[in-house]
Amino acid sequence: MKLQSTRDTTGRPYSYTDVLLQGLAPDGGLFAPQEYPHISLETLTRFKGMSYGEIAYEVKKLFVGESIPDSDLRTLVSRAYAIEQFPVPDGNIVPVTQIRKNFFAQNLSLGPTAAFKDMALQLLGHEMEYELARRAESLVILGATSGDTGSAAEASLKGREHITLFMLSPEVGMSAFQKAQMGSLTGGNIFNISIRGRFDDCQDLVKAVKHDAEFAHLGAVNSINWGRISAQVPYYVSGYVQIAREIGDPVDVVVPSGNFGNILAAYIAKRMGVPLRRLIVATNENNVLDTLFKTGVYERITAQVTSSPSMDISKASNYERLVFDVFGHDPQKTAQYMHEFDTTGRVSFESYGLSGTVLSTYGFASGSSTHADRINTIKSTYDTCGLIIDPHTADGVAVGERLFDVHEDVPMICMMTALPVKFEDTIREALGFVPERPERFRDLAQQQGGFDTLDADVEALKAYIRAHV
C-alpha cells in the first residue's frame, strides 16, 4: 500500500516507513493512502475472539506492507499492547460496556495516561524508535497539546534513545490531573514548555518554528501523523466484532471529535469493508465539524475553552484526508479548497459543484452538545448503568442518544476517549463526588513542576530548542 500527499499533482508514492517520521508532506498536504486495503467478512469472522493485539497486528500489516518485516511488526505490536501495561482482569484491553439496550461504549482509555490516544501512540513510539535505529538517525519532535496528546506522547517516547520531544501546552486550560501527569514525565529526552497563551498560540508557534529552514526537519506526533491514524483503525475493527450479533450486520459508531483523527479511522475502517453504517461526529460547543457535516460549509471559529477541552479546536487538521477522497483524489482541487480555507477562513462544497450534504453519502452524521448536556449525560449514564464517563465521552453519548432510533435494531457504539479521573472537577459537578483514582495515579497530585514557561514568542522558543538539543 502506497501513500501520497493530498496536494501533490505528480502523485509521488511513499511507503509507510517513509511517512512515519514525518508530519505534513513537503508541499503542506497530508499523506493519504492511494487506495484502501480490504477486510472481508470472512476475515472479520476470524477476528472474533482474537485479542486486541492480534487484531491490531493483522490490520496494521495491511498498511505497513513490506516496509517493516512481518516478524518485526509483530514484535512491535505485541510490546505496545502487552497486557502488563493495561489494568484489566480478563485480557481484553478495549472492553465494551452496555449502557442501555443496543447502546454500547468501548473503553479505549485503559493505557498508561488514561486517554484513547495511548492506544495509537504506544505503537507509534515503538515503530518510530525501530525505524530510527534501522536508519541510524535521530529525530527531534516539536508538538503542541491541549492536554491528552502531550502526556500520551511523552509516556510513549520517554527514554527513547533516538528521540527528543519538546511539547508545548497552554498555561491555562488543562486539568490539574493533566498538568501533574505531564509534569511527572519531564526529564531526559522529554521537555515540557508551558506557553503564556492558549492552545491556538501553541499550534501557531509549532507552525512558525517549522517554517524556518533550520527547524523544517522536526518531527510530529499529533494526529496528522499517518502512523497514528492507521493505528486507530483497529479500534473500530475490534469494536465491531465485539458487538455485531452476526458479522455483516450494520453497526453505528459515535466518536467525540476534535481534530478529526479518531473518526477518520472509523471512516477508513468502513471504506475497508467493516460494516459500519453511520459515522456520527460528536462535537462540543466548538462545533466547526457539526456545521460542516450538516451544511457542507467549513468555517474556522475562535475556539472557546470548555469542560471537554481535548475537543476545543478551531479547525480540524485531519479533515483534508476526507476532502481528498471527496474530490476523487484530485490533488489540485484539494489544494485549492484547502487554500481557500487557509486564506479566507471559510470554504463550501457548493462552490465546488457539490451538494452541501455530500458528506452524508459517505455515512457521516453529526451533532454537538453543551456543558449542561455533558453534566446531564454523565449523571443519567451513571444512574442507568453505574458507569462513570468522562466529559468527552459524554459529548459522544449525548449526541449518540439524540440520533439513536429505538425502532431500528441497529446497535450503536460510542468511543470512550478518556477516563473520568482526568476531569475530576466536572465529574464532581455532575455527580457530587469524584471517581476513585486507579492505584497507578494515586501519587500524581503530589507531583508539581516539570514545566519551563515561555512567552508565545517564536524566537524565544527557537533559542530554547537550540539550547537543549
Ligand X SMILES: *Cc1c(COP(=O)(O)O)cnc(C)c1O
Question: Which residues are designated catalytic?
Answer: 117
Cβ proximity to ligand X: between 145 and 164 the closer is: 145
Cell of 339: 487554500
Cβ proximity to ligand X: between 117 and 162 the closer is: 117
Which residue from 223, 225, 287, 368 is in contact with ligand X, where contact means CB under 6 A?
Answer: 223
Least distance CB 222 / ligand X (angstroms): 9
DSSP state of 314: S
Q: If binding is defined by CB under 6 A, does position 257 make contact with ligand X?
A: yes
Q: Which stretch binds ligand X (CB under 6 A): 65-73, 250-258, 270-278, 454-462?
A: 250-258
| Residue numbers 305-344 binding ligand X by CB under 6 A | 310-311
Give per-residue burial for 197-206: e unless 16+ CB within 10 Å, then b: bbbbbbbbbb
Query: Among 280, 273, 447, 255, which residue's Cα sits nearest to residue 364?
Result: 280
Q: If binding is defined by CB under 6 A, does position 6 make contact with ligand X?
A: no
Rounded to the nearest angstrom, the gap between the alpha carbon of residue 101 and the centroid of all alpha carbons in its chain is: 28
Q: If binding is defined by CB under 6 A, does position 392 make contact with ligand X?
A: yes
Give per-residue burial for 53-68: e unless 16+ CB within 10 Å, then b: bbbbbbbbbbbbeebb
Q: Which stretch binds ligand X (CB under 6 A): 53-61, 70-78, 256-264, 401-409?
A: 256-264
Q: Which stretch binds ligand X (CB under 6 A): 39-47, 90-98, 137-145, 259-267?
A: 259-267
Q: Which stretch binds ligand X (CB under 6 A): 40-48, 70-78, 233-241, 257-265?
A: 257-265
3-state secondary structure of 43: helix
Environment class of 262 (CB within 10 Å of its CB; exposed 0-12, middle 13-18, buried 19+): buried
Please name the helix (run of DSSP H) or strand (run of DSSP E) that holds residue 459, with its range, or none.
helix 458-468
Query: Among 428, 416, 315, 400, which residue's Cα sits nearest to residue 102?
Result: 400
Least distance CB 260 / ligand X (angstroms): 5
Q: If binding is defined by CB under 6 A, does position 68 make contact with ligand X?
A: no
Least distance CB 133 / ligand X (angstroms): 28
Which residue from 260, 324, 337, 451 is in contact with ligand X, where contact means CB under 6 A?
Answer: 260
Q: If binding is defined by CB under 6 A, does position 256 make contact with ligand X?
A: yes
Q: If binding is defined by CB under 6 A, does position 366 make contact with ligand X?
A: no
Cβ proximity to ligand X: between 369 and 417 the closer is: 417
# residues contacting ligand X (CB under 6 A) = 16
Residues 266-295, one symbol each (x = binds ligand X by CB under 6 A, - = not), give ------------------------------
- Per the CB < 8 A criterion, the answer to whether 374 and 368 are in contact is no
Least distance CB 384 / ligand X (angstroms): 21
| Residue numbers 96-125 binding ligand X by CB under 6 A | 115, 117
- Per the CB < 8 A criterion, the answer to whether 279 and 365 are in contact is yes
Q: In sequence order, what are the residues at sequence separation of 6 or more whose Cβ sits closer than 8 angstroms to the Cβ of residue 312?
A: 146, 173, 199, 258, 284, 286, 303, 304, 305, 306
DSSP state of 141: E
Binding site for ligand X (CB under 6 A): 115, 117, 148, 223, 256-262, 310-311, 392, 417-418
